Chains A and B, each alone.
Chain A
Amino acid sequence: MEEHVQNPYVPYPVRIDDIEVATEDKSLKTFKFVFLNEGDEEKFSYQAGQFAELSVAGVGEIPIGIASSPVEKGFVTFTVNKAGVVTSHMHNMAVGDIMGIRGPLGNWYPWDQLEGKNILMVGGGFAFTTLRSSIVYMLDPENRPKFGNIDVVYGARTPGMLLYKDELIEWEKRDDINMHLTIDTPADGWNYNVGFTPPVTEQKAPQGDDNTYAIVCGPPIMIRFTLPVLEKLGYTHDRIIMSLENRMKCGFGMCGRCGIGKELVCKDGPVFTLDQINLTPKEY
């Protein structure tokens, strides 16, 4: 057991407890893992915004944001897009299969700094996993009083491409979180917003001020058009928080590939303010 703490290359063994198809095109699945060894869950103590290396013996490893929330106990979940060697292999795995998790890795959304503040979250497509973790964390009865208004703009191509739809509908009904769900084009039975995420953000998001922070997670094209909107709304660059992605191997700052200037996305990030990102070469 000691080995795991000391050796960052060796993953905690986990069993796949559940697999759920997460989007209508079946390109995403949510994996629920339980730790094989007693005590490992405690060692894998994480914060919303962190990621882990999902490790499949004989195949390889892939860095994925943690979708479950620190307030959820007994398991961890990851929503995995079928894209490369490891993720494609995972999509063929079954409940009961054994694999590994290395982590938690990277920094997290700055929860200490966000206390007492209004939070705007802007998410697009399947980059909603760590935002889901964050929302569940903030809505926890013990944590909700620590935050001001919570606004969430979340867009996907179609209703069926929205992740965690049951939870989204539940959150829509609550009065302590303002949900602004949107899809690209009208669809039958869709009662929420229609349009791309950036214009919906412009219409629905609260004005930026000293007490309001924006957390933005999405595909590059969404980020590109959302940042000017946030600037227009008055969000300063030190109050726009983003999570970067780069190719990674070790996940703890040694293998060298995810560097953007002197920062390593895996260890110094993945969470950066726009202010910090503006000081680094655009190599992500």
Chain B
Amino acid sequence: MSTSQYFIRRVFISIIVFFGVSIVIFCLARLIPGDPARIALGPFATKEMVEQYREALHLNESIFIQYKIFIINLFQGDLGISTYTKRPVLVDLISYFPATLELVLMSGTLMILIGMPLGILSGKFRDTFIDHIARIFSLLGVVTPSFLWAIILMLFFAYLIPIFPVAERMDERLTPPTIVTGLLLIDSLLEGNFKVFADAFSHLILPALAIAMPAIGNVARLTRTNLSDVYDKQYIEFARSYSYSELKIATKFALKPASIPTVTIIGLDFALMLGNAFLVETVFVWPGMAKYGVEVILAKDLNGIVATVLIITFFYLIINMFVDFIVLLLNPRILKN
């Protein structure tokens, strides 16, 4: 199988899965107990209003037709009106998504930048003091819920040692940069506005860390195990017997095979972090998709809930394809099948 064949196959499967998810969440949304129209309009609506609402949303038709309409609307960008914000859901998504995107991307960066070196250090200096400290840290990361990390980080860095702010993305007194990508860090850099960049960064770091901690722990532990396993392998002994430089072994010949399972875990950990975003955005009052998601769930806004699930899934599928591609680069054996 060639690289492009593999790629096309992956995209195809992802599309099928995405449609599957849309079916599942759509069915769940339509099969709930209670009348969506009544929930949306509230207890004071008259029978006629409810009936009108039901007609407008095609709620009396069969579920297949409803799904067909839903998909057609989806492709036209119409995700319905949110009963919570009273705006089109698409507008809600566009305004809130960049904040979450930036947060999750930052968390991912932290996961790799902190998790992998931690694991490498642990693996290289196995059973030493460094290793033990790193392992305790990783373990605590894995077993502590993200919302608790958020609270602890908040207490520490905002109240005990006030370095970082605890709410919003940016200081209100500063002017935001012109919106190009919606990501404050990038937009401010594009403008050369370092003051805003630093401010946005300081707002970003605590929530991103809270989201990333379990993933950091996971990645560190796994990297450590993989690296140890690889160092025990015969091809490393062979490399030593043939005088490959020790540095090259550590950074190339041992690292590459060890990275393969780690990269796979990084993909799965993004799912973990996407879930954690919902908790952390709530604690830090971060104006993102996840906080919106929590609010629409509590408010029983069907359109909002469906849209949130779809966009999170979409995002996750893209990340997974990306991860698979990187694994392919690292591990040529995949194409064998």
Q: Answer yes or no: do A and B interact.
A: no
Chain A residues proximal to chain B, CB less than 8 Å = none
